[in-house]
Amino acid sequence: MANTAAATSMPFLWEGTDRNGKKIKGKSLASDEATVRADLRRRGVVPTRIRKQRKGLFAGGGTITSGDISIFSRQLATMLAAGIPLVQAFEIVGAGHENAAMQKLIFAIKADVEGGSALAEALAKQPLYFDDLFVNLVEAGEQAGALESLLDKIATYKEKTEAIKKKIKKALTYPAAVLAVAFIVTTILLIFVIPSFEDLFQGFGADLPAFTRMIIDLSFFVRSNGIYIVMIISAAVATFLYFLKRSRPFRHFLDRALLKAPVIGPILEKAAIARYARTLSTMFAAGVPLVEALESVAGATGNIVYEVGVLEIRDEVATGQRLQVAMENTGLFPNMVIQMIAVGEESGSLDAMSAKVADFYEADVDDAVDNLSSLLEPMIMAILGVLVGGLVVAMYLPIFKLGAVV
């Protein structure tokens, strides 16, 4: 019922005075004006003006990203740390959010909590945005009476994992973008520029160099079969995305191939280990049993190869095997990680040692991405220069040849 109400509600802007007579204003999400007025009176606010918010360019839509959830986690943790009640914290965070979709989500959770549901139950009703790890940690915090502390740990965890994701995206996006630009520039030259030179060369009455002839033939092929080339590329991309989303064996194959790839493979491996260690540390520090924690850790690694490996670790630990030995049996973790986990097990500080592993590998990922960017920049510029420069040289070779003959 709460989700349905939130889905059909509208944003209202209101102005009023609080118990001290101070003028205040804000924004609420409700089904009608009467509901807003009643909610304000419950909070001790005397409304003087209530109106529907006009839908601007971005008012009706918006998507919820993992970054939004990370920011929401930090805002909620900060509100509770300041002593603000949970429902009021939701009201403040939701009213101040510019993303309409995120605002609806926050008020849907608020409605569930006001209806008597535990926070973990309310979050579990939104599985697209709050995974088992998030819900389990909140539940552990509620049961232990330390929700404020656990939300702070969740916020820190989300911020760390988002930073890792951004680093990986940075490593992959820059070269992909430059190569895409190189492809577009090359295509434009082949379709629009090369034909002009071809018309010029026909008046020379002499044989063209083999390199020039090859480029002209390539230009003719692209112009004649361009529509088919676009269709084939589009079909290939669509097929790839289809299997990437729906085929677990394909994603397993792709993740394993990426881990073995030169340069980028070690970065992805370090990122997976960092996420594994960070999630394990957060879950264990929250008092979640190790076997149960490993279930959530598996899905948080971001790589199916490591996900399968962690599930194997969970099964071995459930039968009484030590975590150190179970990790060693997978063959996925460096010896340093295994030894630090072993020290953590023996000293009873598994959460602290896991956090140290995560800190080390997160810093290692940062350095690796920075080094990769420095290495790729000249390499990509060289590739771009060879592609564009090669086309230019091919077109001017006949002119140079003609000048040498004269």
For the segment 206-248, what is each residue's pLDDT rounded down to a tens digit?
677 888 888 888 888 888 888 998 899 999 999 998 888 888 8
pLDDT, mean of residues 15-43: 77
Question: Which is more confident, 201 or 232?
Answer: 232
Residue 10 confidence (pLDDT) above 70:
no
Task: Give 57's pLDDT tier (boundaries 50, 70, 90).
Answer: very low
Q: Measured between alpha carbons, how far apart are the two ends of the chain, in Å?
A: 88
Task: Give 3's pLDDT tier (boundaries 50, 70, 90).
Answer: very low
Residue 395 confidence (pLDDT) above 60:
yes
* Residues whose CB is less than 8 angstroms from the CB of residue 97 and which lie 6 or more positions away in sequence, other chains included: 103, 106
What is the spatial distance between Cα 41 and Cα 87, in angstroms, rounded to a whole number?
15
Task: Give 1's pLDDT tier (boundaries 50, 70, 90).
Answer: very low
Global pTM reads: 0.67
pLDDT, mean of residues 20-31: 75
Q: Please state the φ and ψ torsions of residue 328, each to the nearest 5 degrees.
A: -65, -35
Q: Are 90 and 110 in contact (CB under 8 A)?
A: yes
Residue 59 confidence (pLDDT) above 60:
no
Residue 98 confidence (pLDDT) above 90:
no
CA 299 to chain CA mean position, Å: 14
Identify the pLDDT of residue 5: 42
What is the spatial distance between Cα 223 and Cα 198, in angstroms, rounded to a whole number?
13
SS (H, E, C) 135-189: HHHHHHHHHHCCHHHHHHHHHHHHHHHHHHHHHHHHHHHHHHHHHHHHHHHHHHH
For the segment 135-193, what is each residue's pLDDT rounded down to a tens digit?
888 888 887 777 888 888 888 888 888 887 787 777 777 778 877 888 888 888 888 88
- From residue 205, give the alpha-carbon distance in Å to each of 197, 261, 371, 392: 14, 50, 52, 21
For the segment 114-125, what is each residue's pLDDT rounded down to a tens digit?
888 888 888 888
Q: Structure tokens of 188? A: 């434009």
Q: Structure tokens of 311? A: 């599930």
Identify the pLDDT of residue 275: 87
Residue 288 confidence (pLDDT) above 90:
no
